[in-house]
Amino acid sequence: MKEPDANIKKILVVEDEPAICLVCQRVLTGEGFEVDVAVNGKVAQDMIKGKRYDLCLIDIKTPAMNGNELYRWLGEKHPRLAGGVIFTTGDMMGGDTQGLLEQTGRPFLPKPFTTDEIRAIVKETLRQVEKQAE
């Protein structure tokens, strides 16, 4: 069995829309990332407890535990990973969404997004995370 490459960046996609999960998986895997998917924040918590991720792509509106709740939990339990969060949202006009994005200062992708947009924001966020780790 092949040993996993420690240099491969691991990304957790927290998204409840199967089509978006599939696009994220295909695009990011094609860029050389290891990608896992969680359908909501509760599932993501369990996955984060068992594996080290470099970045999280989090849909703000997921059932069971939304993106805001997951981000707050990350800030308390996994602050390094909280610095590698990218939000996705289909609700740019909602006051709660706008407030969250302004308050956290985290990058975000409005839905629908293109494959080029996801590649660019992931690479830029990873570069910033690595810079902060130096």
Tell me the per-residue pLDDT of 75-95, one tens digit each, with 9 for 90 and over: 999 999 999 999 999 876 677
Band the pLDDT of 133: cuts 50, 70, 90: confident
In whole angstroms, what is the distance from residue 20 CA to residue 98 CA? 21
Rounded CA separation 16/104 (Å): 22
> What is the arithmetic mean of pLDDT over 49-57?
96
The confidence score (pLDDT) of residue 1 equals 45
Percent of all residues in the chain with a pLDDT value above 70, rounded to a whole number: 94
Annotated domain spans of the chain: 10-133
| Higher-pLDDT residue of 76, 7 | 76
Neighbours of 119 (CB within 10 A): 14
Average pLDDT over residues 14-26: 96
Q: Is the pLDDT of residue 99 over 90?
A: no
Positive/negative CA dihedral, 46, 47, 49, 54:
negative
Q: Say which CATH topology domain 10-133 has.
A: Rossmann fold (3.40.50)
pLDDT of residue 95: 75
Q: Tell me: the pLDDT tens digits for 104-122?
A: 999 999 999 999 999 999 9
Q: What local confidence, expressed as pLDDT, does residue 98 receive? A: 86
